[in-house]
Amino acid sequence: MGKLYWLSQNSWAWSAYFIQTTDIDATCTKDWNSGLGFSPIGNSTITNFNGHYNGKGHTIKGLYINRSATVSVGLFGDCNKATIDSLCVTDAFIKGNKFVGSIVGRSNLSTLKCCRASNAVSGSWYIGGLVGYASGSSNISNCYSTSDVSGANYVGGLVGSNNYYSQISNCYSTGNVSGTDYVGGLAGINDYSTKISNCYFTGSVKGNSCVGGMVGYNISTSNIENGYFAGTVSGKTNLVGATAGVNSANSTISNVYWNWQVSKTSDCGEDKGTTINITRLSTEQIKKPANLNNLGSFETVWAIREDSTYAVLQDISNNAPFAFNDNIGVTGRTSLLTVLNNDYDYETLQSKLAIKFTQLPNTGSITNKYYYSFPTGTPAGSQNSFQYRVGEVLAPGDTLWGNTATVVLTKVANTAPSALNDAAIITEDSGTTTIDALANDSDADKDLISISGIASGYPLHGTATISNGKIDYTPAADYHGTDTIAYIISDGDLTNTANVIVTITPVNDTPVLTAVTDKSINKGENITLTMDDVVATDVDGDDLSLVIAPGENYTVSGNTITPASGFTGTLSVGISVTDGELTSNVMVMSIEVASATGMGANAHDAMQLSPNPATDQVTLHATAPVSRVQFVNAAGQTVLTHDAPTGSMAIGALKPGVYLVKVISTNGQVDVLRLVKQ
C-alpha cells in the first residue's frame, strides 16, 4: 500500500512503467485526507497519467475515494496515452462529481485491457463501472465490470461515455446501473464514430429517458454490433429499449439479441438510424447457439454451455455466472437456495456458486438458512417474490457477481409433516440429555421441519427445552421410572405431535446423616449405639445401619464403644450410616466419660435429684441434713457450690453437660449423684 500511496503523490513518475507484484489491501484509504480517501493518480490540474501500469492479474481491494466535488475520479483520475492492463479493483467505494470510474475517471488516447472492476461507483455526469469518460480513440478490450453504478446523466455499466473514435470490444457488465438520462448497461452514450462490439449485459438498467439495455444513446455514426442483452431495462418515457434508448440517424445497431422474457420492452426506444438483425428470443432460445447465428464465431469469439448458460467471451479470463428467473411452489418451509439449481457458471458450472439476496419476500417468514414459508393460513395460489444475485466464489472474500434474477413463489397444497414416537434411556441424576427427536420424523413435501414447541404439561417428571433443533431433557432430582415429552413439529405451515418416552434407570443414592445425639457414661462403662441415636435419610428408602469409626481412647465392637481403661473426659467419635453399598457423610458424636469413684457405695437410695429445666433449678431430696452440695464437671473441677441448701438450687451457671454432684451431709457422709444438664 505504501508504494501505491507513493505513486499517487509523485506526479513526476506518472509517465513510467509500473508492475504490481502482489495484491494490495487498500481499506486503510478510508481514513486518508480527512475522509476524502485516496487521491487519484493523474489529474488535469497537475499532469495526466501517461505511463503504463501492469497489474499482472493482481487485485487492489477496498479502495476508498469520496470526493463529490472533484472531477476525474478513479484509481487513475486523468489518463492520456496511457496503458492499464491486467488489473482488478474490487470492493471499492468510488464517488466523485464528473468523469468517475472504478479504474479511470477520464481516458484520452489510452488503452484499458484485461481489467476487472467490482465496486460501488457514483457521481453526477459521465459515470462508468470501468471508465467515466473514454475519448480520443481510447480502447477498452477484454474487460468486465460487476459494479453497481449510479449517477445523473451519461451513466453506463462499463463507461459513462464512449466518445470520439473510441472502441469497446470483448467486454461484459452484470451490475445495477441507474441514472436520469442517457443510461445504458454498457455505455450511457456511444458518440461520434465509436464502436461497441462483442459485448453483453445481464444486469439491471433504470433511468428516465434515453435508457437502453446496452446503450442509452447511440449517435453520430456510432455502431453497436455482435452482442446481446439479457437483463432488465426500465424508464419513464418511450425512449427506452433493449438495445438502445435512442439510435440516431447515421448510427447502426446490428446482430444483437435480447431476452424478451426477462425485460418487457422493445428493440429500441426510438430508431432513426439503421438496425440489422435485432432478434428477440426467449430464455431457452437464447441458450442455444443455433439461434445465435449472427452473434459471431463460436470457434474464436464466443462459447456457450447449451441449455445451461448464455453465451460467454472466450478472451475473457472469467465470465460471471448466470442466474435465471424461476418459479417455486411453496408447500410449507421451502429452501430459497433451490433457485441455484438452474443457474450455471461457464467455467465452473455449479461447483462455486454463491447467492446474495437483493430483495426478500415482503410477507411470510425466513429462517437464518433461507427457508421460506407463507404466513399460516395462506390459501393455495397466493404469490410472493424475491430477487437474488448469483456469484462465483473465486477465493475467500472474493466473489465474481453475475446478474440478478427474480423468483416467483406460489403457495401450493401442503401435507402435514409425519411425527413418530421416540424412546430414550438415561440414568437417574445424569444431568441434561440431548434427544434428536426429529431423526425419524419426515415431510412428504420435502419441507424443512423443526420442533416448534413442547406440549403444555410435559414432561411430567423433569424439564425440556428446545436447543439447536433438538430436545434438551433434564429429569427431576432423584427420580427414576418413565417420563413422557410431548413435542410439536412444524413445516412452517402445518404441525403434528409425537411423544418421546424416556426411561430413567435408577442409581443408588448416598444416604445423608443430618444429626447425632451426644452421650454420657461413667468411667468404666461402655455404650451401645442404635439408629435412634442419629437422624439420617435415604431417598431410595433403603435400610440403614451405623458405621462407627475407630478413634483415640476407645475401641469399637459392632455398635458398642468401650472407653480405654481408666479414661475420663470426652470421646470424639466419627459416626456415619450406610445402606450396605454407599456410606454417608461423617458427623462427630461427643461421649462424656465421667469420674464416678465411690458413687455406687456412698449413694443412698433415698437421696435423689429432681431437675426442673423450665426454671433451670434442681431439687435435692435427702433423708439427712445437708451442709454443702458441689457440682463437678467431667474434668474433675468444682464449678458450682451451694451451702446448706434447702429446697431448690439454681443451676443456671452450669453449661450443658454431665456433672457429678457431691452431697456432703452434716454428719460428714459424702454421697455422689449424677446430673445431666440440658
Residues 6+ apart with CB under 8 A from 488: 451, 452, 453, 454, 455, 495, 496, 497
pLDDT in tens, 226-252: 999 999 999 999 999 999 999 999 999
607-677 has which fold? Immunoglobulin-like (2.60.40)
CA distance 490 to 511: 46
Question: Nearest Cα to 40, choosing from 91, 109, 116, 92?
Answer: 92
Question: Nearest Cα to 396, choosing from 362, 352, 355, 431?
Answer: 352
Please list the helix, strand and coil fractions of the chain in percent, rounded to the nearest 5, in that order.
5, 50, 40
Strands across the sheet containing 554-557: 527-528, 560-563, 554-557
Contact in structure between 270 and 247 (CB atoms under 8 Å): yes
pLDDT at 598: 36
pLDDT at 319: 97
Q: Is the pLDDT assigned to residue 597 strictly greater than 80?
A: no
Q: Residue 641 CB: number of other CB atoms within 10 A?
A: 12
Question: For 167, what's the count of Cα atoms within 13 Å in the CB-facing half-sphere?
Answer: 11
**Exposure class string for 568-579: b at 16+ Cβ within 10 A, else e:** bebbebebbbbb
pLDDT at 596: 52
Contact in structure between 171 and 144 (CB atoms under 8 Å): yes
pLDDT at 599: 35
CA distance 398 to 647: 105
Concatenated DSSP letters of 212-261: ESSEEEEESS-EEEEEEE-SEEE-SSS-EESSEEEE-TT-EEEEEEEETT
Greatest extent of the chain over all pairs of C-alpha atoms, in Å: 155
Contact in structure between 333 and 449 (CB atoms under 8 Å): yes
Contact in structure between 645 and 620 (CB atoms under 8 Å): yes
Give kind and range of the element (H or E) at residue 141.
strand 139-141
The amino acid that residue 20 corresponds to is: Q
User: What is the number of residues in the chain?
Assistant: 678
pLDDT in tens, 477-527: 999 999 999 999 999 999 999 999 999 999 999 999 999 999 888 888 999
1-175 has which fold? Pectate Lyase C-like (2.160.20)
Measured CA distances, 199 to 30, 150, 175, 182, 612 (Å): 34, 21, 14, 19, 115
Residues 6+ apart with CB under 8 A from 276: 252, 253, 254, 255
Strands across the sheet containing 657-665: 638-643, 626-632, 657-665, 670-677
Region of residue 6 (left: phi > 0; alpha: psi -120 to 50; beta: else): alpha
Region of residue 57 (left: phi > 0; alpha: psi -120 to 50; beta: else): left
Region of residue 12 (left: phi > 0; alpha: psi -120 to 50; beta: else): alpha
Q: Is the pLDDT assigned to residue 272 strictly greater than 90?
A: yes
* DSSP secondary structure code for residue 347 in this structure: T
pLDDT at 665: 86
For 293-298, what is the mean pLDDT? 97
pLDDT in tens, 157-193: 999 999 999 999 999 999 999 999 999 999 999 999 9
Cα-flanking dihedrals φ and ψ of residue 338, to 5°? -65, -15
Question: For 237, what's the count of Cα atoms within 13 Å in the CB-facing half-sphere?
Answer: 16
pLDDT band at residue 549, thresholds of 50, 70 and 90? very high
The amino acid that residue 491 corresponds to is: D
Query: Structure pTM?
Result: 0.75
Question: Nearest Cα to 257, choosing from 231, 298, 233, 286?
Answer: 286
Q: Sketch the domain layout of the chain as residue ranges.
A: 1-175, 326-411, 422-505, 512-594, 607-677
pLDDT band at residue 677, thresholds of 50, 70 and 90? confident
Q: Is the pLDDT assigned to residue 664 strictly greater than 90?
A: no
Question: Nearest Cα to 197, choosing from 140, 278, 251, 269?
Answer: 140
CA distance 123 to 151: 5
- Are β-strands 450-454 and 481-490 bridged in parallel, bridged antiparallel, or unpaired? antiparallel
Report angle CA 403, 313, 113 to the nearest 5 degrees. 95
**Exposure class string for 23-52: b at 16+ Cβ within 10 A, else e:** bbebeebbebeeebbbbbbbbeeeebbbbb
Q: Is the pLDDT assigned to residue 2 strictly greater than 70?
A: yes
1-175 and 607-677: identical CATH topology: no
CA distance 589 to 515: 9
Concatenated DSSP letters of 507-566: -PPPPEEEEE--EEEETT--EE--GGGEEEE-TT----EEEE--BTTEEEETTEEEEPTT
Name the percent of the chain lying above pLDDT 90. Answer: 85
pLDDT at 74: 99
pLDDT at 614: 84
CA distance 245 to 242: 8
Cα-flanking dihedrals φ and ψ of residue 265, to 5°? -145, -165
Question: For 287, what's the count of Cα atoms within 13 Å in the CB-facing half-sphere?
Answer: 17
Q: Which is the CATH superfamily of the domain at 422-505?
A: Immunoglobulins (2.60.40.10)
Q: Is the pLDDT assigned to residue 644 strictly greater than 90?
A: no
* DSSP secondary structure code for residue 375 in this structure: P
Identify the three-state secondary structure at position 188. strand
Q: Cell 415429552 sits at which residue?
A: 485
Give kind and range of the element (H or E) at residue 2.
helix 2-9
Name the percent of the chain lying above pLDDT 70. Answer: 98
Identify the three-state secondary structure at position 92. strand
pLDDT at 203: 98
For 617-646, what is the mean pLDDT? 87
Class of domain 326-411: mainly beta
pLDDT band at residue 602, thresholds of 50, 70 and 90? very low
* DSSP secondary structure code for residue 156 in this structure: E
pLDDT at 660: 87
Q: Residue 383 CB: number of other CB atoms within 10 A?
A: 13
Q: Is the pLDDT assigned to residue 329 strictly greater than 50?
A: yes
Class of domain 512-594: mainly beta
Distance of CA 97 to the CA centre of its chain: 40
